[in-house]
Amino acid sequence: MYIIVGLGNPGKKFEHTRHNAGFDAIDRLADKHGIKIDKLKHKALIGEGRIGSEKVILVKPQTYMNLSGESIVSVCQFFKPEYDHMIVMYDDIDLDVGKLRIRKKGSAGSHNGMKSIIKSLSTQEFPRIRIGVSKPTEGWDLADFVLSRLSSEDSKSFDESLDRAVLTVEEIISSGIEPAMNKYNG
């Protein structure tokens, strides 16, 4: 079984903003595999289904980004996954729009949602897919930037990166993290 988490903020106000890249990627994965994300459990919207022969739990924490760990620790206490079978997808300002970075484990960097998860689980030993949203231009507040929507010129590259994030999850499930990293990093 795999737990696949997409980070974001709940509510219409935040839909399709840079900070909701994880939610957008989870929605694409759910659509592609016919999984309904319609149960409210563990402070998250959850969908259960299959990708290939593997059972998957798709998770969109509803705690707001900075408290994502509250939801994820509850999910993990209930489903008891091996941490190498929990994949977290989220936005990354240190990557250009259209880029992905896949890692087996690692620190949270400056991402508050990941800081919350790592603190709540007391581990950083889980795979993650970072989705590039670029840095704000000088003078643009970081919080305002990540809560903004992408320009029309960046939207195409961003959409392609979300599609590649879906392919990355499928590759991790079917072949493992190393082949996924070799195929989709960058």
| Catalytic residue chosen out of the listed positions 19, 33, 85, 111 | 19
Of the candidates 7, 71, 83, the one whose C-alpha atom is nearest the C-alpha of residue 44 is 71
Strands 2-6 and 86-92: parallel
Give the 3-state DSSP-derived string for 35-74, with helices as H, strands as E and coil as C: CCCCEEECCEEEEEEEECCEEEEEEEECCCHHHHHHHHHH
Helix, strand, or coil here: 34? coil
Contacts of 78 (CB under 8 A, 6+ apart): 41, 42
Helix, strand, or coil here: 139? coil
Give the 3-state DSSP-derived string for 70-115, with helices as H, strands as E and coil as C: HHHHHHHHHHCCCHHHEEEEEEECCCCCCCEEEECCCCCCCCHHHH
Q: Does 19 qualify as catalytic in the annotation?
A: yes
Catalytic residue annotation: 19
